[in-house]
Amino acid sequence: MRSIRPYRILYAAAVATLMIVPAEAQHLQNGVGGRVNNTGVIRFKSDTGQFRNAAPAASFTNNVIEFTGTNNAFTDIGSDPTTATAFGVDASMRVPGLVRYTRDSILQNVQSRFYTDLEMRGGSAKKIVDGVYVGSQYLITKSGPRSYAGTFTYDGALLQYITSESGLSGNTDRYDNLTILNGPKEVRRYDEVRMSRSFYSDASAPMLVQGSMFWGTNSLTSAPVTIDSGGMLATGVGTSLLNANLTVNDGEFIATDNADTTTIGSGARLTVGPSAAAKLSLGQNAQLYVLGDYANSFALRTNVRFDPTSLVNFNAPTPQVIQSTVATNAYGHLRTGRSVKTVNGDVYLVSSLSVNDENLDVGTSMLSMTTGAAQYTGFTEVVGTMQRDLRSGSTGDLYVFNNEQTRMTFEKLPQDITLEVRPVTNPTSYDLTSDIQRKINVRYNGVWTALVRAGYKQADIPATWGVDVSEDLLRFFDAKGPLTTDVRKMLPQPGSAYSRGRVADARSFGWVELGRLSSIDPAERRIDNTHDLLMRGSRDILKAIASGRWSNPATWDEGREPDPKDRVSISGFTVHVGYVRANDNYAILEAFPDTMARAVTLADVPSTSLLIGYTNTFNTFSLKRTTGVLFTQNRVAPSLVPFTALDVTVANLDAGLLIYPGASYTVPDLLIGADATVFNGGILQVGSN
């Protein structure tokens, strides 16, 4: 047998040692002067293999870097991933070419880097941390589940496609935060992009959505977004701020159910249309704040859907045009604020209206709502036509119309009723010496009866009013034309009375209210369809319309106690002064006991009586003590009326003038008609002193 030479034994041992001892470091270390030109694939196979670099970015060209370990990384030459020479540490050191993370099992950690192209491949799970930037393509190729934590950014200057990640919950197969920067992006048709938290775009990253995109929580866009080709974009549950235009050409923009506000920023515009395929949808409780502009260019307006609980809030500080709607596709809640608003057509809403800070002027169009609340702050109103569709209304409910003091409470509901209210505008039959200069035109379908209040502003009170005209005298008139016969005064009906509120200052409403106005007779309460509701403050003869105390407004046709300037007529009713009778149990004292009126006339009609009584020492009464003030008594009592003691019953008396013992009544001039009767048990003084 041949002998084995010693050097061969040593050599074999050395070789065996080399083959057994594994290499510790398994990296690619590119020194400061090194150049790596990779048009193939450089694959890192160990779990900790790193591409360490000390050279400038231009020293590396790349086709594919493939990481197959769990913690592969780009670092500087000293294994620090955060210094300037580590590839991908920032955009200037962006990793060129494709970086592929591929492994069949276990987990791969995807390093926070600026990549050009990035690919997830192989069955292993991928953990994608905050701070991954992709400048071109993001590929998911038969990859295991991806979990995202933090922000994933597409930041290429050329068109990038946002890769589908359509996990429905959590952060698996669903972006966490998604950011697009620097150039145009697109969600391709049939792709679906979801994220669990925020979406952000900068001003240089317009986005075209042709597939589906679901924002997570809060979102902010700074560049235009266009939805086309049947695409769909849904907001997250948090706030969404659109600081650039969002245009829906073909597809749908959805404000998600119960989402926080979606705001169209100042200078931005949300445009929907011009076809039925361009849609906007606000879900339950969703809120759209329009600080810029919202426009629907589809003529039929049927391409938008607003849940009744949703809100559209036009709240720009500069004048805005409110987009019109149709009855079948009406706003839910509508709010305006901060500036004057106009409309570009009829506006329908099904829930509430809130007008704040400045008026909403609908021009020649109409604002139509149903039974929801209309609220006004800041002395605002709807100028123009406002309709209430009351088919689902309820009697007894208060329905506010064009301002907080223009409202109706119905005993009987019409199908709809419309008020066209124009401040500082002559109503039909306007008399500048006595009338409120505010046109209120009434239109309706159906029969109605209601308590009606109409508000007015100080600016509606012309300086041309006569000296005897007063807000306290304002009454309603049905007005249809210029003739005096075209004006019909509205009088209280049984169970109704005028009430009024004066204008307190230039920032408050005055108002007039009368119950039981109606679309049907009697004429004294009827407001005809298409007629104006006129407010007139001239002083007419005040007529008793019920038996009751002089101080009781319900006794008089204008719903107020006579004052010293009034002329009063009592015909067919028993009016008592100075004490309480059971017919109205009215205990408030007369306001002007020594100047009750400037004239009183008692008609020769049964039950016509003026009873002068007393309550303790409240017992002295007088007409205005001025020469020429006249009391005319024409009633002829058919029989003697007992007058030794106060009559406190409910019954009418037929006495003419009656002064009870203990009471005193002074009239400057007294005219007693033929056979008319005066029963005096107290003191009757004729002539002033």
Which parts of this chain interact with other proteins (CB under 8 A)?
Answer: 11, 14-15, 18-19, 22-47, 49, 68-69
Residue 36 or 580: the one with the smaller Cβ distance to other proteins is: 36
Residue tagged 């209304």 (tokens): 393
Q: How many CB atoms lie within 10 A of CB 298?
A: 18
Residue 38 or 371: the one with the smaller Cβ distance to other proteins is: 38
CB 276 to other proteins: min, Å: 55
Residue 23 or 467: the one with the smaller Cβ distance to other proteins is: 23
The sign of the dihedral angle between the CA atoms of 449, 455, 460, 462 is positive
What pairs with residue 253 in β-bridges? 233, 280
Cα 404 to its chain centre, rounded Å, is: 15
Q: Which residue, among 259, 315, 325, has the nearest Cα to 290 in the 3D structure?
A: 315
Instruction: Tell me whether strands 449-457 and 599-602 are parallel, antiparallel or unpaired.
Output: unpaired
Cβ–Cβ under 8 Å, residues 208 and 246:
no
Residue 26 or 261: the one with the smaller Cβ distance to other proteins is: 26
CB 193 to other proteins: min, Å: 33
Angstrom distance (rounded) from CA 537 to CA 514 = 15
Cβ–Cβ under 8 Å, residues 622 and 598:
no
Angstrom distance (rounded) from CA 361 to CA 448 = 27
CB 123 to other proteins: min, Å: 15
Cβ–Cβ under 8 Å, residues 619 and 664:
yes
Cβ–Cβ under 8 Å, residues 268 and 293:
yes
Instruction: Tell me whether strands 333-336 and 311-314 are parallel, antiparallel or unpaired.
Output: parallel
Angstrom distance (rounded) from CA 407 to CA 419 = 10
Query: In 620-655, which positions are buried (b, 16+ CB within 10 angstroms) versus exposed (e)?
Result: bbbbbeeeebebbbbbebeeebebeebbeeeeebbb
CB 273 to other proteins: min, Å: 54
Angstrom distance (rounded) from CA 649 to CA 585 = 10
Angstrom distance (rounded) from CA 621 to CA 600 = 13
Tokens of 603: 């008609």
Cα 133 to its chain centre, rounded Å, is: 41
Half-sphere exposure of residue 155: CA atoms within 13 angstroms, side-chain side: 17
Rg (CA), the chain: 43
Class of residue 411 by CB neighbours under 10 A (exposed 0-12, middle 13-18, buried 19+):
middle
Indicate the DSSP class of residue 104. S
Residue tagged 């049984």 (tokens): 494
CB 56 to other proteins: min, Å: 14
Phi, psi of 172 (to 5 degrees): -90, 125
CB 34 to other proteins: min, Å: 4
Residue 54 or 503: the one with the smaller Cβ distance to other proteins is: 54
Angstrom distance (rounded) from CA 609 to CA 642 = 13
H or E segment to which residue 114 belongs: strand 114-122
User: CB under 8 Å to 76, separation ≥6 — which residues?
Assistant: 52, 53, 54, 83, 84, 85, 86
Residue 31 or 319: the one with the smaller Cβ distance to other proteins is: 31
Half-sphere exposure of residue 69: CA atoms within 13 angstroms, side-chain side: 17
CB 179 to other proteins: min, Å: 32
CB 116 to other proteins: min, Å: 17
CB 24 to other proteins: min, Å: 8
CB 26 to other proteins: min, Å: 3
CB 142 to other proteins: min, Å: 20
What pairs with residue 613 in β-bridges? none
Residue 31 or 378: the one with the smaller Cβ distance to other proteins is: 31
Residue 39 or 627: the one with the smaller Cβ distance to other proteins is: 39
Cβ–Cβ under 8 Å, residues 312 and 334:
yes
CB 109 to other proteins: min, Å: 16
CB 33 to other proteins: min, Å: 5
CB 75 to other proteins: min, Å: 13
CB 18 to other proteins: min, Å: 5
Residue 123 or 317: the one with the smaller Cβ distance to other proteins is: 123
Residue 53 or 324: the one with the smaller Cβ distance to other proteins is: 53
Cβ–Cβ under 8 Å, residues 178 and 193:
yes
Residue 6 or 40: the one with the smaller Cβ distance to other proteins is: 40
User: CB under 8 Å to 395, separation ≥6 — which residues?
Assistant: 410, 411, 412, 413
Tokens of 252: 């749908």
Residue 35 or 507: the one with the smaller Cβ distance to other proteins is: 35
Residue 69 or 265: the one with the smaller Cβ distance to other proteins is: 69
Residue 105 or 364: the one with the smaller Cβ distance to other proteins is: 105
Residue 44 or 331: the one with the smaller Cβ distance to other proteins is: 44
CB 3 to other proteins: min, Å: 20
Q: Which residue, among 357, 430, 355, has the nearest Cα to 386 in the 3D structure?
A: 355
Residue 47 or 524: the one with the smaller Cβ distance to other proteins is: 47
Half-sphere exposure of residue 647: CA atoms within 13 angstroms, side-chain side: 23
